[in-house]
Amino acid sequence: MNRQAQSAVLFLLGASLLHAATTDLYLRYVKQGLRPLVLVAGAVLIAAAVATVWYERKRARRQKQHTADHAAGHESHESHQAHGSQAHDGHEAHDGHKAHDGHDSHEGHEAHDGHKAHDGHDSHEGHEAHDGHDSHEGQEARDSHEVHDGHEARDSHEAHEDHSHREPRISWLLVLPLLALILVAPPALGSYSATRTGTALQEPLAYPALPAADPLSLSLVDYAGRAVYDHGRTLRHRQVQLTGFLALDRDGTPYLVRMALNCCAADAQPVKVALTGQVPPVLQPDTWLRVTGTYVPRRAEDPVNGGPIPFIQVTAAKPVAAPTDPYDESWNS
C-alpha cells in the first residue's frame, strides 16, 4: 500500500465518520454527546488525506527535478573530460615542436661536448615531461573514479530509499474494517447481550420531584432506581409508562430492558425491569414495547450477577418502533 492508497483510505474513513455523525448512525457506536468529536475526527482524517496527497506530489516533483539535475551534471562532467583531453594533446604537440627547433639551433653553434650536455638536458626534460604526463593522467583517472563512485552511491541510496518505503501487502487488510463501517450498520445491543450480562442498576444521587402527568412517562433506568433504592415512595399510586425492548430469562421471565452506557456501545450494560400482570401472550425477544403499569414492591435477583430487578404491574402494553437512540444515557446527566 503506497502513500496514495493510504491517503485514499484516510479520506474514505473520514468521509464515513462525517456521514455517521450527520445521520443517526453514530448512535450505534457512541453516546449522543460525542457527536461533535466524531465530526472533528472525520474532518481531521480528511485533512490528513489531502495533506498526504499534496506532500507526495511535491516530493515527486522534487525527485524529478533532482533526476534532471543529476543527468545534466553527468553530461557536463563528460564534456569537461573530453575538452581536457584535447587540450592536453595540443600541449604535448606544442612542447615537442619547441624542443625540436631548439635542438637544431643548438647543434649549429655549440661544440660536441655542449651537444652531449644538451642531450642530457633534453633527456632530463623528457623524463620530467613524461612524469608530469603520467601524473596528470593518474589525477584524471582518480577524479573520474571518484565521480563515478559518487554517482553509484547516490543511485544506490535512492534505490534503497524507494525499496524501504514499500509497505507489505498485508497492510491492505486495514481496508476491511473500513468496508464494514461503510457497508454494514451494526444493530444496537439487544436481548442476547441483556440475558448474558447482569443488571447494572446504580443508586441515584437524588430523586427529583415528579410531574403530575398521568400516566407519567419515565425512563426505565429512573423507574428501576426509584423502585429499588427509594422503595417506590415517589411511584406509589401513579400510572407510569416505560419503553424498552423485550428479553426472556432462561426460565421464561419477561424483562423490559434498556442498555445504559457511559461512553460507547462497548461499555453498555443492561438495566432490567421484570413484567407481571397483563403481559402480552406472545412475546418476541427484541420487540420494543411501551408498557403502562403501576409500581409493586416486589424484587428478583438477576441470575447472572445477583443484582436487584424491580417489577412493574402491567395494565397495558403495545409494540412501538425502536427509538432513534436505543441506549439510555440518563447516567450521564
Write down which residue in 173, 205, 222 finishes a domain.
173
Task: Judge if 43 and 163 occupy the same domain.
Answer: yes
The continuous run of DSSP H or E covering 59 comes out as: helix 35-109
* 213 half-sphere exposure, CB direction, 13 A CA radius: 9
What integer pLDDT is reported at residue 128 of this predicted model?
40
What is the total count of domains within the chain? 2
What domain range is 293 assigned to?
191-332
**Domain-located, residue 180:** no
Q: Determine the Cα–Cα distance for residues 174 and 188; give it in Å rounded to an integer.
A: 24
Task: Judge if 269 and 312 occupy the same domain.
Answer: yes
Evaluate the omega torsion of the peptide bond into residue 215 and state whether it is cis, within 30 degrees of 0: yes
Chain centroid to Cα 92, Å, comes to 69
Task: Judge if 155 and 213 occupy the same domain.
Answer: no
Task: Judge if 24 and 166 occupy the same domain.
Answer: yes
pLDDT tens digits along 131-176? 444 444 445 445 444 444 544 445 454 444 444 455 567 767 777 7
Task: Judge if 151 and 249 occupy the same domain.
Answer: no
Residue 127 has pLDDT above 50, yes or no: no
Write down which residue in 173, 201, 236 finishes a domain.
173
Task: Judge if 125 and 218 occupy the same domain.
Answer: no
What integer pLDDT is reported at residue 117 of this predicted model?
31
Task: Judge if 119 and 213 occupy the same domain.
Answer: no
Does residue 217 or residue 129 have the better pLDDT?
217
- Residue 273 contacts residue 231 (beta carbons within 8 Å): no
Residue 296 maps to which CATH number? 2.40.50
pLDDT tens digits along 205-245? 888 999 988 899 999 999 999 999 999 999 998 999 999 99
Task: Judge if 10 and 98 occupy the same domain.
Answer: yes
Task: Judge if 150 and 103 occupy the same domain.
Answer: yes
What is the pLDDT of the chain when averaged over all its residues?
Answer: 75
Q: Sorting pLDDT into bands at 50, 70 and 90, what band is 310?
A: very high
**Domain-located, residue 294:** yes
Distances (CA, A) of 259 to 213, 319, 321, 331: 26, 18, 16, 11
pTM of the complete model beyond 0.85: no
Q: Sorting pLDDT into bands at 50, 70 and 90, what band is 14?
A: confident
The helix/strand/coil state of 310 is: strand
Percentage of the chain beyond pLDDT 70 is: 68
